[in-house]
Structure 1
Amino acid sequence: MRQSIRQYLAGAVAAAAVTSAGPVHAAEPIKVGVLHSLSGTMAISESTLKDTMLMLIEQQNAEGGVLGRELEPVVVDPASDWPLFAEKARELITQEEVDVIFGSWTSVSRKSVLPVVEELEVPLFYPVQYEGEESSKYVFYTGAAPNQQAIPAVDYLRNMLGIERFVLEGTDYVYPRTTNKILERYLMDRGVAEEDILVNYTPFGFSDWQSEVARIKEFGSQGKPTAVVSTINGDANVPFYKELANQGVSAADIPVIAFSVGEQELSGIDTAPLVGHMSAWNYFQSVETPENEAFIEAWHEYIGDESRVTNDPMEAHYIGFNMWVQAVEKAGTPDPEAVVDAMIGVTAPNLTGGVSAMMPNHHISKPVLIGEVQDDGQFAVVWETPGMVPGDAWSDFLPDSAEIIADWREPLACGNYNVASGECSGQDY
């Protein structure tokens, strides 16, 4: 791999910092890029992740930084503008000279950034659930793959609640469309009739939910237990849930299970009419573990507001950041290429009491939890997997990807390897 002069110098400075007896933070700081929307439709979700990263960096600096070097956050605002994510990522790498980027929320923003980090060879840590069907050498997916969220969620609806009809309601972009493609195939393969699956998409920031909620009510009035599987993203969730309440749709009638609604999104809603609706995540604030208690306490102290909630993507950044720190220490340098090579096999505690591991496909192992909305805006966990679930980059339930695996270890070093043909059809670096 080519190594830039900047990367070479960064490695030399890190080595000097480790071997010298100089004071902590004597060397140049290690720059950490933070790429989250602070304005626009996704700010409701992403601004908290910016604050999370700043807290984690401050904590690490208080412990002496990494390799005796201070971490310096570099924050940019891509403003919920998907092409701007690519521009800001390039700015972070080429102008600000960051060694790593933590950021993006939507899959369309991640896919905008993907060619930039692959070209410039700087890792991106992506903290949000996504649709799978991807594995990049320069992306570490710390959010849930479909087998760590969507599949367990519909299994819960079918097996525990007896649901027979499904409304797949999503925002119109790649994550909901690909996730619902997987879910449609999965449900029909298990005997759900095509006419018992209703699929609909609305734009980002959609607010006029009256007609769509009426259609959901009509679909659910056909004599079969019905549920909504929601991949609605961003601030469109607020009017969606309000309209459900306006039209008297309760969890007892047509429960909603959401993949993008956590504590942060509920903080802007009167949750009393939504009690019993659900979300599927890998973390909830209400989980009672010493690790989570310490994280919540630190968050409230940092943000100065005990009413500020925590959520799943915050935990994903917590895990990813700690994994990155360990990989830098393992490599002995923040050089991006060296850190990428050191990441596989790194482990870090999660906040639910277990330990997550970075796997060869650049996804992590995580538990899966189903939580019901409570009237205080928190979730009560009603179901969880007995242990860690490894993230699957390529779905077993789509014919085109069922025979594809990702493994970034040598000699395979491929994110799109077809086990039947023995060929790597994606980038293999």
Structure 2
Amino acid sequence: MTTLFRGSREQIMSTTRRRFLRNASITAAAAVAAPSIFIPSAREAWGATLDTGKPIKVGVLFSLTGGLAVPEEDSALVMQYAIDEINAAGGINGSPIEPIIIDAMSDMNVYAQRMRELIMRDKVISVFGCYTSASRKAVLPTVMSQNNLLFYPTCYEGAECTQNTVCTGPLANQHSKDLIPYMVENFGKRVFFVGSNYVWPKESNKNARIWLEQAGGELLGEEYIPLGSSEFGPVLNKIRAAKPDFIFSTVVGSSDIAFHRQFRQAGLSADSMPIASLTTGEIETRAMGNEYGAGHFLSAPYFQALDNPTNQRFVENFLSSKYGKNGTTHYNMEETYTSAYVFKAALERAIAQHGMEEVTPRLIRDAAAGVRLEADISPEGPTWIDEQNFNTWLVPKIGQCQSDGSFKIVKQASEHVAPEPFSIYPDAGICTAEGLQLPNGSVRTNVI
């Protein structure tokens, strides 16, 4: 496998927090505000062809440095592991996958710039990457304008309907919809929300407020911390004064680690005031220290402790490989891993339908509709891509962190839950393969 790497930890100077925040807000706002995007034909946009036996170039766009590197570096590593696995088994139609690995440096402008380079210069047929909604919204205008394809392998807030993405992580209705009532039932009705200051936490909390109200809970306070910040003193003072029964957290990256450490250092305890998170998994717990994570909760479709043969094989083989240097697996890693196999299945289907030289990124997206990963491939068990909105049917789970950093599953959905991008916006329309179908019957494409 040929791997091209642009920007190592030693070569790239860390981005200052002020620049990070300025770029995040400017780029994400510009992406959301874009009034219309010209969509060329798939062949015109991509301008390349696949040839049997020649490498299939894909982009791998994650942050290997900066405040988002804690979860994203491991996603880049597991993507390389999955590609090695696929190539060792013969590749796709006799062709190996060639990843072009980019460090986005936790900088929203870098995400946008590198996405343009991957698509327009390197002619990749798809890109795997991004962890935050701010970075996803920074790259989507380019992905859509060039009719390329983004595999987005993590949780997000929904309220989006694009024709150039495939998402393998949970939506809000597969995430906090079970977590909020579970916490209310087991710990009490009084809740305090804390999140990083960007679109995903704020939109996730809109969902959480509705489910909290339905569960009979009470929201005592809601605070947002700048993305990348490590100062939680004022927020913890407000939490101590409010005395909630539990905290609902959408804090991400290095900030998440700082929050848990300062929570305990402030004399607060998981025994009396647990944190219920959508992001604090095995990677974050390992980085902060097991003692800071113990007793807290996470909602996710995957945990390293899942007891099935495929997951046991995945964990053992990955951790013993050259990519398993950080010593754990994680929900975001598993969702990245499965995205590689969704890509493989969709590309094989597109080749069978159209011939290898005629395949485009958009045809891969279309072929991904209904792709199912069985239990022998997916470490979390069977999953499949929704035929209309191209998100994933998943089994939500809730885990409690143990003293050794592992998670004990305390609740699991009895069946797969359908992804609902507009679950709290029923009047917005229905996300279909062609676009957002409005109540009046008209269709809007690429709604972000």
- The answer to whether the superposition gives a TM-score over 0.5 is yes
Indicate if the aligned counterparts of 1:245 and 1:274 stay in contact, CA closer than 8 A: no
Report matched runs for 1:19-168 at 5 Å: 27-159=53-185, 161-168=186-193
Provide structure 2 residue ranges, at least 5 long, that are not aligned to the other structure.
1-39
CA distance in 1, matches of 2:201, 2:61: 22
Indicate if the aligned counterparts of 1:167 and 1:216 stay in contact, CA closer than 8 A: yes
Indicate if the aligned counterparts of 1:347 and 1:358 stay in contact, CA closer than 8 A: no
Aligned partner of 1:23 in structure 2 is none
More displaced 10-residue stretch of structure 1: 85-94 or 303-312:
303-312
Identity %: 29
Residue 394 (structure 1) aligned with residue 422 (structure 2): yes
The equivalent position to 1:385 in structure 2, one of 405, 413, 416, is 413
The equivalent position to 1:176 in structure 2, one of 201, 205, 209, is 201
Question: How far has the Cα of 1:188 moved from its partner?
Answer: 3.1
Indicate if the aligned counterparts of 2:184 and 2:215 stay in contact, CA closer than 8 A: no
Aligned partner of 2:318 in structure 1 is 299
3-state secondary structure, aligned to 1:99: coil
Indicate if the aligned counterparts of 1:8 and 1:335 stay in contact, CA closer than 8 A: no
> Are the structure 2 counterparts of residues 197 and 417 from structure 1 closer, same or farther at C-alpha, using a change threshold of 3 Å?
farther
CA distance in 1, matches of 2:348, 2:106: 34
> Are the structure 2 counterparts of residues 130 and 7 from structure 1 closer, same or farther at C-alpha, using a change threshold of 3 Å?
closer
The equivalent position to 1:199 in structure 2, one of 205, 216, 222, is 222
Residue 4 (structure 1) aligned with residue 30 (structure 2): no
CA distance in 1, matches of 2:135, 2:404: 32
CA distance in 1, matches of 2:428, 2:339: 28
CA distance in 2, matches of 1:8, 1:77: 25
Letter in 2 for 1:392: E
Indicate if the aligned counterparts of 2:372 and 2:382 stay in contact, CA closer than 8 A: no
CA distance in 1, matches of 2:172, 2:64: 27
Letter in 1 for 2:41: R
Residue 405 (structure 1) aligned with residue 430 (structure 2): yes
Residue 268 (structure 1) aligned with residue 291 (structure 2): no
CA distance in 2, matches of 1:402, 1:157: 29
CA distance in 1, matches of 2:319, 2:141: 36
Question: How far has the Cα of 1:402 moved from its partner?
Answer: 4.1
CA distance in 2, matches of 1:315, 1:175: 20
The equivalent position to 1:289 in structure 2, one of 284, 287, 308, is 308
Q: How many residues align?
A: 399
Letter in 1 for 2:309: P
Question: How far has the Cα of 1:273 moved from its partner?
Answer: 4.8
CA distance in 2, matches of 1:147, 1:45: 22
Question: How far has the Cα of 1:210 moved from its partner?
Answer: 2.3
CA distance in 2, matches of 1:326, 1:304: 23
Aligned partner of 1:313 in structure 2 is 332
Residue 231 (structure 1) aligned with residue 250 (structure 2): yes
What TM-score results when the alignment is normalised by the length of structure 1? 0.88
What TM-score results when the alignment is normalised by the length of structure 2? 0.85
> Are the structure 2 counterparts of residues 273 and 46 from structure 1 closer, same or farther at C-alpha, using a change threshold of 3 Å?
closer
3-state secondary structure, aligned to 2:105: coil
CA distance in 1, matches of 2:237, 2:113: 41
